[in-house]
Amino acid sequence: MAEIKQIVMPGDLISEELGKPRNGVYKNSDGRYCSSYFGIIQKNDQGVDVVPFSGKYIPRRGDKVIGKVLEVGPSMWPVDINSTYNTLLHMNDTPWRTTSGDIKRFLGVGDYVYAKIMTLNEIKESWITLKDVGLRKLEGGHITSIPAPKVPRIIGKGGSMVNMIKDATNTRIVVGQNGLIWIDGTPEDVIEAIAAISIVEQEAHTVGLTDRMEKYLKERSVK
């Protein structure tokens, strides 16, 4: 039986004194630090975070995300990044030589891109870019999604979890910070990978998950 991390509700006291502001924690009117989410407590060297069980992706500058093109404009693509707000990709922020009015040759409605959030303003309007190493249009493959707060769990420490799934299932995987995951491989391998990811998602709040996943994946590959 798996051990689980401590669960907190909105308003639960986390600590009297935290110092640096942490994720998912706010300071109430008495000056005490309380949880702002229903989630689990995550302790690390820098302090205590609250990781919610679910919720929409909140864009942050520099995050690499997977987005779906919603529309083709004269010079921009509105992109859905699984967040409260849509984002925009301007033709000048792509590696292609584009001219205004003829941009649907490069990206059409429904295409997926792996992009980086370039700018974000105070009313949460954002622009993404494809001009960086590794950023591209995602061709082929499958898309699956998990709640954005669980992305660090899928990636694991230094990418350990996702690399383990990649190796065991023989697939190519790209994980966006926004919870969308692109998987490429043979249909059987992709199904295996999605199954593994959904286990990680469902048990994200348990302790020692990487070891259990290693065991799980080993057993699957023997079959």
Partner 1 sequence: MGSESNIKLLDESGMRLDGRTPEQLRPIKIETNLLERADGSAYIEWGGNKIMVAVYGPREAYPKHTQDIEKAVVKARYNMAAFSVDERKRPGPDRRSVEISKVISEALSSAIMVEQFPRAQIDVFIEVMQADAGTRIAGLTAASVAVASAGIPMRDMVVGCTAGKVEGKVVLDLSKEEDNFGQADLPIAVLSKSKKIVLIQMDGDLSLEEFDQASEMIMKATDNIAEIQRNALTSRYSVENIGDGE
Q: Of the ranges 107-115, 119-127, 152-160, 187-195, which one interacts with partner 1 (CB under 8 A)?
A: 119-127
Q: Of the ranges 49-57, 88-96, 138-146, 179-187, which one interacts with partner 1 (CB under 8 A)?
A: 49-57
**Separation between Cα atoms, residue 67 and residue 127, nearest integer Å:** 12
| Residue of the chain from 61, 105, 124, 131 that contacts partner 1 (CB under 8 A) | 124
DSSP tag of 141: S
Q: If binding is defined by CB under 8 A, does position 52 make contact with partner 1?
A: yes
Q: Which is nearer to partner 1, 189 or 203 (CB)?
A: 203
From residue 187 to residue 216, the character string flagging contacts with partner 1 as x (rule: CB under 8 A) and all else as - is ------------x--xx-xx--x--xx-xx
Residues 11-30 that bind partner 1 (CB under 8 A): 11-12, 24, 26, 28-29
Q: If binding is defined by CB under 8 A, does position 37 make contact with partner 1?
A: yes
Q: Which is nearer to partner 1, 123 or 133 (CB)?
A: 123
Name residues whose C-beta falls within 8 Å of residue 44's C-beta, 6 or more positions apart in sequence: none
**Binding residues for partner 1, total number by CB under 8 A:** 43
- How near is the Cβ of 212 to partner 1 at its closest, in Å? 4
Residues 67-106 that bind partner 1 (CB under 8 A): 84-86
In the numeric block, which tokens belong to residue 115?
């992009």
DSSP tag of 21: -
**Separation between Cα atoms, residue 89 and residue 75, nearest integer Å:** 9
**Separation between Cα atoms, residue 125 and residue 88, nearest integer Å:** 8
Residue 19 identity (one-letter amino acid): G
DSSP tag of 83: B
Place of tokens 């954002």: 126
Q: Of the ranges 53-61, 102-110, 174-182, 186-194, which one interacts with partner 1 (CB under 8 A)?
A: 53-61
Q: Which is nearer to partner 1, 109 or 195 (CB)?
A: 195
> For residue 94, how many C-alpha atoms fall within 13 Å in the half-sphere facing its CB?
21
Name residues whose C-beta falls within 8 Å of residue 185's C-beta, 6 or more positions apart in sequence: 169, 170, 171, 172, 193
In the numeric block, which tokens belong to residue 129?
């870019």
Give the DSSP H or E segment for 218. helix 209-222
Q: Residues interacting with partner 1, by CB under 8 A?
A: 1-4, 7, 9-12, 24, 26, 28-29, 34, 36-39, 52-56, 58, 84-86, 122-124, 147, 149, 199, 202-203, 205-206, 209, 212-213, 215-216, 219
